[in-house]
Amino acid sequence: MRLQRWYTPYLLVLPGVIWMVVFALWPFLNTIALAFTDARPLRPAEFVGFANFDKMLEDDRFGYALTTSLIYVVVCVPLLTFLPLLLALLVHNKVPAIGFFRTTFYFPVIASAVVVAIVWEFLFSGSGTINSALNFFGLIDRPVEFLSDRWLLIGCAIGLTVWKGLGYYMVVYLAALGNVGRELHEAAAMDGADRWRRFWSVTVPGVRGPMMLVSVLVCVGASRVFTELYVLSNGSGGPGGRAMSMVMLIQSMGKGLNGQVGYASAISLVLFLLTLVPLLIVGIANNGDTIREALASRRAVKAAKIKREATVQEVQR
């Protein structure tokens, strides 16, 4: 048998490493480097220390963008974690033509986010379907400002994100529901558990893993929301740019021949760090048992050690 040379494993992983360095690690490190400069296109960049971060604290647009992104996360995570589960339970039943309903619920996922957002804009604009209908029935004198009021605009965008995401996460739950044993439900029913109780005590624990995955995906997606708000506000972020998300702000600050690339990179870095926080919380929640076990085992080891030392001391005495 011929022995492989020492560098063979390195050669095998080299394409993957190059790919990762060029398209992931290098841009990431470059963003960090730029965040501490006053870089603008076609001009020499100078190191400015934490000036971009100081500027962020005084920039009211950053405050609005942060608020928008946080609201997006806080509202979208529970909605997109539980509504798709309920939908999956609904279409999990074997009834005639259920395939049709499953496909229908999945349709918004296939459609382009931009196209869907344009359709929503037709619905909610001042002369759109909803305002026209409300006006027709005499319910309003002037159009409801769905897309020019900060909170209504954010609400419409969240509605769009939830509607579009339902089908995707429904499929994730459908796959997981197949693994929840029927016998568990039967046993719970025999013990007197009603449907609601069985949902919380059997179904939810049964899909806990996928549920954590969904919440992590929704959390990351919501904190990086762009398309929905951008299209619904035609890129303006609403009056005062108050409905801009963090990514919209990064795009508006960094684009063009006069873009403030350094400042946009600093906001990107903050967004990255902020995304880590909910991920950390979800990670801890997901691995709660493991962490508890590890802590308990550590305490046990420590107690055993103390006990052993005490015994040794007693023997010595």
Binding residues vs other proteins (CB under 8 A)? 6, 10, 21, 25-26, 29-30, 33-34, 37, 39-45, 55, 125-127, 142-143, 145-148, 153, 233-242, 252-253, 255-262
In angstroms, what is the minimal distance from the CB of 126 to other proteins? 4
Closest CB to other proteins among 29 and 281? 29
In angstroms, what is the minimal distance from the CB of 241 to other proteins? 4
The rounded distance, in Å, linking the Cα atoms of 265 and 215 is: 27
Q: Determine contact, residues 164/109, Cβ cutoff 8 Å.
A: yes
Q: What is the DSSP string of 33-91?
A: HHHTB---TTS---B-TTHHHHHHHH-HHHHHHHHHHHHHHHHHHHHHHHHHHHHHHHH
Closest CB to other proteins among 55 and 92? 55
Closest CB to other proteins among 135 and 286? 135
Q: Which of 174, 175, 166 is nearest to 106 (CA)?
A: 166
What's the burial of 135, exposed, middle or buried (CB within 10 Å: 0-12/13-18/19+)? middle
Helix (H) or strand (E) holding 316: helix 288-316
Closest CB to other proteins among 173 and 263? 263
In angstroms, what is the minimal distance from the CB of 245 to other proteins? 15
Closest CB to other proteins among 241 and 278? 241
In angstroms, what is the minimal distance from the CB of 115 to other proteins? 16
Q: Determine contact, residues 166/84, Cβ cutoff 8 Å.
A: yes
In angstroms, what is the minimal distance from the CB of 7 to other proteins? 8
